[in-house]
Amino acid sequence: MDTELVIRAQGGDQEAFADLVYAIADRFLAVSHRILSDISLAEDATQQALLSVWQDLPQLRDPARFEAWSYRLLVNACYTEGRKSRHWTPNVRLLSVDEPMAVDGTSAVVDRDQLERAFRRLSINHRTVVVLHHYLDLPLDRVADIVGAPLGTVGSRLHYATRQLRTALIDDAQPTTREVVL
């Protein structure tokens, strides 16, 4: 991110902020869409986050940290929107899946619908960690910084989410024996 742009926007330069918006808004909407799985909620979260960036920008002490700071605002906005509309089912019972999945058959079985269905069943906390790590390619320590949770907690959430997805995918592939959604 152009630090100079951030500094100018901090000073109230609306043109500079407009440039910032066009630089980050696409990514904001993409991230929030993936976290919330709903484009309307994602647009609301993005709008709120961008306005929060504008409002609070003068208080950002280190412009070089703009990216992480702004993502934190976005995640908070996603949590807020998520609370307004909970249409995921968070409780999926974990089964023992330590045995290796049939690798050869995986790619054939797993399609995007299965994955989306499984992803929707994750809580918003788990989705957030997954999206920040796997979509933005952020290391876990930076994810922890953004979501405001200890590194160990973030690691646990990612592990849990991965297991949920893995299990759910297997369930979808073998519905007669593994279907135990609570």
Q: Please say whether the beta carbons of 69 and 142 come within 8 A.
A: no
Residues 6+ apart with CB under 8 A from 48: 77, 80, 81
Interaction of residue 34 with other proteins, rule CB under 8 A: yes
In the complex, what is the shortest distance from the CB of residue 180 to other proteins, in angstroms, rounded to a whole number?
19
Cα(139)–Cα(169) distance, integer angstroms:
25
Interaction of residue 177 with other proteins, rule CB under 8 A: no
Select from 4, 93, 134, 141 the one that contacts other proteins (CB under 8 A): 134
- Part of the chain binding other proteins (CB under 8 A), chosen from 86-94, 122-130, 171-179: 122-130
129-134 contacts, C-beta under 8 A, 24 or more apart = 129/154, 129/157, 129/158, 129/161, 130/158, 130/161, 130/162, 131/31, 131/34, 131/35, 132/31, 132/71, 132/75, 133/158
Interaction of residue 76 with other proteins, rule CB under 8 A: yes
Q: Which residues bind other proteins (CB under 8 A)?
A: 12, 14, 17-18, 21-22, 25-26, 28-30, 33-34, 39, 42-43, 46-47, 50-52, 54-59, 61, 76, 79, 101, 103, 106-107, 110, 112, 115-116, 119, 124-125, 130-131, 133-135, 140, 147-149, 153, 155-156, 158-160, 162, 165-166, 169
